[in-house]
């Protein structure tokens, strides 16, 4: 995967062909073996690191003129720091195996046109003092750098995380197998958000078809021809998100008491169902298996010719489960068919918000977001714009 942007990008290919030690790691562009002088006037070799802006597998104009550097601070021939390019000096992990020590800023009036111009300009500045001491030292070592061979779940590099400088935080979500039970409005938005994380596998459980009304309360914009296929929801969404990532596993059936053991395959579950009796069976099984889960719910009704509603996110982990049934946080009733919720009022923005609240909580559980409250139950009341959190750990 890492070699593809080099082969498809003239600027990266030129760097490599000219002998620079080019490497792409976790969405960053690295040039290894860059010679420089330290404060003791010793010749050392460091690593120059840049964000990498890609369109598909090809580079575009760099998003920023700033670069990172792994090594001591580069100095002039007399041992004084090259202050003209200093941006920041602070040890910072970009990934688990890439820790930088400094960042530099040298901005041309029109920015850098490509990564060849950007990286060679910084190399010239950093290496010039070392080359004045020993003319034989060069960053053009022609050393072969093996591309990272880790199998990514994505079909292309996640440059969003590297561009934001949060790759090491995003890696916290390189967890096991996540299940999404129910791919209605909220469940499909949960999938949309989870699919953009590096989880190992995503398992989809739903026995329903993807019909025209589903198009108006789920992410994306299916064509009329796609709707005419009347595919199952799991087939439609697995095909859609497989364009972006691997390891989306469809299970084209409803989970019930006879198929409940299929939940053993997941390490975490999102429950996005409105059928209470089935939900109770699923929750009992997940608790028995010691699997953490998040259950979502949405109640919407018509009042004075406008909609009001409450969105709910209830979390259950091995450290806290008693509130789920002890406080009746989750309804296991299927309704009598006379209330507005039984008519299944769903609105795309509310589905998306319910899903976002659930996924944010999931990310908190794994340390992606800081979690000071550690709430295991939260609600959002629409008409008074009130978000509450309860059942703290």
**CATH code of domain 174-392:** 3.40.50.720
**Cα dist from 177 to 73, 155, 161, 248, whole Å:** 43, 18, 21, 10
Mean of all residue pLDDT scores within the chain: 92
The model's confidence at residue 2, banded by pLDDT at 50, 70 and 90, is very low
Task: State the span(s) of the chain assigned CATH 3.40.50.720.
Answer: 174-392
Mean local confidence (pLDDT), 342-349: 77
pLDDT at 149 over 90: no
User: Is the pLDDT at 206 greater than 60, yes or no?
Assistant: yes
Q: Which ranges of the chain would DSSP assign to H, the alpha helix?
A: 3-8, 10-17, 115-133, 159-164, 167-170, 185-194, 212-215, 224-228, 233-241, 276-289, 322-326, 348-365
- Residue 146: pLDDT over 80: no
Q: What is the pLDDT of residue 340?
A: 38
Q: What is the pLDDT of residue 339?
A: 40
48 closest CA partner among 57, 35, 61: 35
Q: How sure is the predictor about 345, in pLDDT bands with cuts at 50, 70 and 90? A: confident
More confident residue, 217 or 163: 217
**What pLDDT score does 160 carry?**
87
Segment 72-114, tens digit of pLDDT = 999 999 999 999 999 999 999 998 889 999 999 999 999 999 9
pLDDT of residue 151: 72
192, two tokens: 């949309």
- Contacts with 329 (C-beta within 8 Å, 6 or more apart), sequence order: 312, 314, 323, 377, 391
Name the pTM for this structure.
0.81
- Cβ-contact 148, 53 below 8 angstroms: no
Instruction: Summarize pLDDT for 18-36 with one digit per residue, the tens.
Output: 999 999 988 899 999 999 9
In 3D, which of 371, 393, 271, 389 has the Cα closest to residue 330?
271
Q: Give dist(CA 211, CA 209) in Å, integer.
A: 6
Cα distance from N-terminal residue to C-terminal residue, the chain: 42
111 with 65: CB under 8 angstroms? yes
* Contact between residue 195 and residue 243 where contact means Cβ atoms under 8 Å apart: no
Q: Which two tokens stand for residue 168?
A: 């090491």
What was the pLDDT predicted at 162? Answer: 85
Q: pLDDT tens for residues 238-257?
A: 999 999 999 999 999 999 99
**Closest-CA residue to 180 (of 197, 166, 168):** 197
Rounded distance between C-alpha atoms, residue 204 and residue 192, angstroms: 12
- Portion of the chain with pLDDT greater than 70, in percent: 94
Q: How confident is the model at residue 336 (pLDDT cuts 50, 70, 90)?
A: very low
pLDDT at 187: 97
Confidence at residue 57, expressed as pLDDT on a 0 to 100 scale: 80
**Residue range 150-185, pLDDT digits in tens:** 578 998 888 888 888 899 999 999 999 999 999 999
Task: Report which of residues 161 and 69 the model is more confident about.
Answer: 69
């Amino acid at each position: 995967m890492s070699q593809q942007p080099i082969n498809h990008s003239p600027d990266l290919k030129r760097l490599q062909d000219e002998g620079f030690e080019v490497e792409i790691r976790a969405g960053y562009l690295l040039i290894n073996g860059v010679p420089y002088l330290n404060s003791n006037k010793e010749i050392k070799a460091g690593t120059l690191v840049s964000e990498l802006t890609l369109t598909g597998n090809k580079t575009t104009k760099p998003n920023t003129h700033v670069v990172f550097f792994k090594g001591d601070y580069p100095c002039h021939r007399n041992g004084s720091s090259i202050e003209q390019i200093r941006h920041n000096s602070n040890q910072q992990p970009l990934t688990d195996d890439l820790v930088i020590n400094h960042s530099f800023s040298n901005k041309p009036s029109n920015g850098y046109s490509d990564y060849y111009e950007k990286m060679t300009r910084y190399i010239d500045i950093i290496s010039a003092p070392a080359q004045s001491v020993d003319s034989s030292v060069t960053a053009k070592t022609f050393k072969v750098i093996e591309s990272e061979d880790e199998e990514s779940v994505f079909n292309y590099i996640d440059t969003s995380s590297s561009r934001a400088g949060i790759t090491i935080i995003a890696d916290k979500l390189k967890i096991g197998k996540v299940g999404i039970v129910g791919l209605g409005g909220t469940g499909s938005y949960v999938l949309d958000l989870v699919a953009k994380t590096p989880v190992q596998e995503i398992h989809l459980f739903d026995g329903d078809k993807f019909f025209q009304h589903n198009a108006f309360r789920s992410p994306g914009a299916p064509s009329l021809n796609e709707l005419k296929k009347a595919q199952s929801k799991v087939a439609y969404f697995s095909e859609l998100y497989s364009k972006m990532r691997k390891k989306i596993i469809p299970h084209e059936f409803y989970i019930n008491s006879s198929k409940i053991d299929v939940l053993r395959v997941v390490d975490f579950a999102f429950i996005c169902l409105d059928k209470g009796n089935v939900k109770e069976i699923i929750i009992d099984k997940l608790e028995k298996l010691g699997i953490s889960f998040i259950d979502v719910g949405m109640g919407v009704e018509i009042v004075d010719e406008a909609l009001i509603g409450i969105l709910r996110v209830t979390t259950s982990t091995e450290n806290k489960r008693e509130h789920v049934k002890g406080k009746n946080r989750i309804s296991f009733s299927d309704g009598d068919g006379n209330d507005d919720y039984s008519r299944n009022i769903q609105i795309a923005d509310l589905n998306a918000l319910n899903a976002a609240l659930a996924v944010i909580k999931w990310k908190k559980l794994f340390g992606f977001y800081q979690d000071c409250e550690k709430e295991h139950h939260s609600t959002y009341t629409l008409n008074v714009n009130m978000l509450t959190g309860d059942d703290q750990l």
